Amino acid sequence: DWGQEHYRYRTFSKDERIPTRPGLLYLVERGAIRLVGTSQVSASPNFSGSQCSHQNMEEAFLGFIGAGQPFEIVALSPFTLQAYSHVEQTAVVWMYWDDLDNWPHFRREILDAFRLQHQRKLLWLSTLGQRRTIDRLLGFLILLVEEFGEPCQEGYCLPFPLTHAQIGSAIGSTRVTVTRLIGKLRQRGIINTQKDNLICLSGDSVPKITPN
């Protein structure tokens, strides 16, 4: 209601791209945003001798932004960041950073939220430094469930689906490998899936998890 009254507001369908540009502040009012990154960097030599070479643009899942959380898109060539609505009826408010000068308390809340996001990204980077893929996978899922998980009979579940391909892009692996390793974790009783392929982690197997 506050966003609709004061600033630009729009509701998006699932997987719809959010029209973003640098310099604007975005706030997720309802639903969840999926951040995706692409890069044109290539270390492959160009043996053809031509100045141009074709490069495949692969998307990497960079995380979720949940309801009540801010985000911004920074332009830094050759990297490209994009935001997508991850669930139906995701509502987003956007404004200029200077607009926050009119709301000092709200500005402090926004900066605190970005500070927390930065701390979570440092934990994510630490997880990605694990040598074994299964450790990166489990650490990645623990971080997601700690931030977004909801209590369920099995432990804690993500409230929205995440494909094995998206997980693989986030931890530097492949969809096939993620599927195989999730099968191993399921056999150990660490991971379970509910309807709509929602990923759940056992609270007993992963004692770090605490409810939001």
Q: Which domains does the chain have, with CATH numbers?
A: 1-128 (2.60.120.10), 132-212 (1.10.10.10)
**pLDDT at residue 1 above 70?**
no
* Nearest Cα to Cα of residue 37 among 1, 72, 5, 83: 83
- For position 212, what pLDDT does the model report? 43
- What does the DSSP assignment read for 107-118? HHHHHHHHHHHH
Question: If you average pLDDT over every residue of the chain, what do you get?
Answer: 84
Looking at residue 210, its pLDDT comes to: 47
pLDDT, residue 85, reads 96
Q: Residue 157 contacts by C-beta under 8 Å, 6 or more apart in sequence?
A: 145, 149, 150, 194, 198, 199, 200, 201
Q: 41-56: per-residue pLDDT in tens?
A: 565 555 444 444 445 5
Residues 126 and 147: their CA atoms lie apart, in Å, by 16
pLDDT band at 4 (very low <50, low <70, confident <90, very high): low
Percentage of the chain exceeding pLDDT 70 = 84
5 pLDDT band, cuts 50/70/90, is low
Question: H/E element holding 126?
Answer: helix 104-128
| C-alpha gyration radius of the chain | 19
- Checking if the pLDDT of 176 tops 50, the result is yes
The confidence score (pLDDT) of residue 6 equals 53
pLDDT mean over 18-43 = 87
